[in-house]
């Protein structure tokens, strides 16, 4: 199970690493779908009805990577997928790292507000729903938040399994080829793990900023410092980060469900 979940988290942000100055990978659809499917299973009846009304004929999973698909026609949305918070900083400074309000934190907050506002046109709320589903996954990928002056790890060149990678691509897609685990198995096992945990209320506490800073701290405390000096990554690195990676996907899923349940509640 841990090995499976590791693969899921490596998928989380690939397609959405769409930083204007970053290498564009346009992968990761599986990871976003899994988060969306796990969250969908935890929606309230009211939220489920609202989702069906906003995106008829679609599901959270089917729209989970919509935000990546529109980037060629809407390049201005590229910065929405990330925020560059230096790993040596301990707080989110929006005037410095999000001055124009188009980073992942600000845009996720904005789209949640639109989704919640029933006075908005249905089409606008439907698009907001798609953004919320996608950006929640992006924000839980540590290298979409923490930065060491290297474009979220894209300038950190390393080798793994005899091939060239970047730190960012390793966290995005590094083990995908080797897994071969069916999507359905991922969804079932993650859902079962969540059902067995007794601290879901604790996991869903806090704000969007709090959750983003968790990702920042993982980048600072795990993604960067656990790298071998030689930058020749072996299984020991993956063993060290495995539990943390598992926790990120769990949190992304349950928090997405919480946000949608609150935004789409009756009344």
pLDDT at position 13 is 43
* Residue 71 scores a pLDDT above 90: yes
Question: Is residue 23 very low, low, confident or very high in pLDDT (cuts 50, 70, 90)?
Answer: very low
Look at strands 157-160 and 146-147 and give their pairing: unpaired
pTM of the predicted model as reported, rounded to 2 decimal places? 0.88
Buried b (16+ CB within 10 A) or exposed e, 120-153: eeeeebbbbbbbbbbbbbbbbbbbbbbbbeebbb
Give the CATH number of domain 2-262.
1.10.575.10
Question: What's the average model confidence in pLDDT over 68-92?
Answer: 96
Question: What's the average model confidence in pLDDT over 216-233?
Answer: 92
156-172: pLDDT as tens digits: 999 988 889 888 887 77
Question: Is residue 17 very low, low, confident or very high in pLDDT (cuts 50, 70, 90)?
Answer: very low
CA 263 – CA 181 distance, rounded (Å): 33
Question: What's the average model confidence in pLDDT over 126-151?
Answer: 96
CA 174 – CA 128 distance, rounded (Å): 30
pLDDT at position 136 is 97
DSSP H or E stretch at residue 179:
helix 176-179
CA 43 – CA 29 distance, rounded (Å): 21
Least reliable range by pLDDT among 17-31, 35-49, 188-202: 17-31
Mean residue pLDDT of the chain comes to 86
pLDDT higher at 15 or 81: 81
| 112, 263 Cβ separation under 8 angstroms | yes
pLDDT at position 174 is 58
Share of the chain above pLDDT 90, in %: 63
Least reliable range by pLDDT among 4-8, 28-32, 203-207, 242-246: 4-8
pLDDT higher at 123 or 237: 123
Question: What's the average model confidence in pLDDT over 30-51?
Answer: 94
* Residue 241 scores a pLDDT above 50: yes
CA atoms within 13 A on the CB side of 192: 9
What backbone torsions phi and psi does residue 49 show, to the nearest 5 degrees? -65, -40
171-223: pLDDT as tens digits: 776 544 334 567 888 889 889 999 998 888 999 999 999 999 999 999 999 99
**Could you tell me the residue ranges of all domains in the chain?**
2-262
């Amino acid at each position: 199970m841990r090995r499976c979940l590791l693969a899921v988290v490596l998928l989380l942000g690939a397609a959405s690493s769409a930083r204007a100055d970053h290498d564009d990978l346009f992968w990761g659809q599986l990871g976003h779908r899994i988060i969306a499917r796990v969250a969908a299973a935890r929606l309230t009846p009211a939220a489920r009805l609202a989702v069906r009304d906003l995106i008829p004929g679609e599901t959270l999973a089917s729209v989970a990577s919509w935000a990546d698909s529109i980037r060629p026609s809407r390049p201005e949305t590229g910065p929405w997928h990330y925020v560059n918070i230096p790993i040596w900083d301990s707080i989110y400074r929006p005037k410095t790292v999000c001055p124009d309000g188009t980073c992942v934190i600000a845009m996720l907050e904005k789209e949640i507000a639109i989704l919640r506002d029933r006075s908005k046109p249905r089409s606008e709320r439907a698009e907001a729903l798609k953004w919320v589903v996608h950006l929640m996954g992006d924000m839980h990928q540590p290298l979409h938040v923490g930065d060491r002056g290297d474009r979220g790890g894209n300038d950190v060149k390393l080798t793994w399994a005899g091939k060239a990678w970047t730190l960012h691509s390793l966290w995005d897609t590094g083990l995908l080829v080797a897994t071969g685990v069916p999507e359905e198995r991922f969804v079932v096992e993650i859902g079962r793990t969540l059902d067995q945990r007794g601290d879901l209320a604790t996991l869903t506490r806090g704000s969007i900023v709090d959750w983003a800073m968790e990702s920042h701290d993982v980048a600072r405390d795990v993604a960067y410092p656990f790298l071998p000096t030689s930058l020749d990554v072996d299984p020991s690195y993956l063993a060290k980060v495995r539990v943390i990676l598992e926790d990120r996907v769990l949190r992304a899923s349950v928090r997405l469900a919480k946000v949608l349940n609150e935004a789409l509640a009756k009344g």
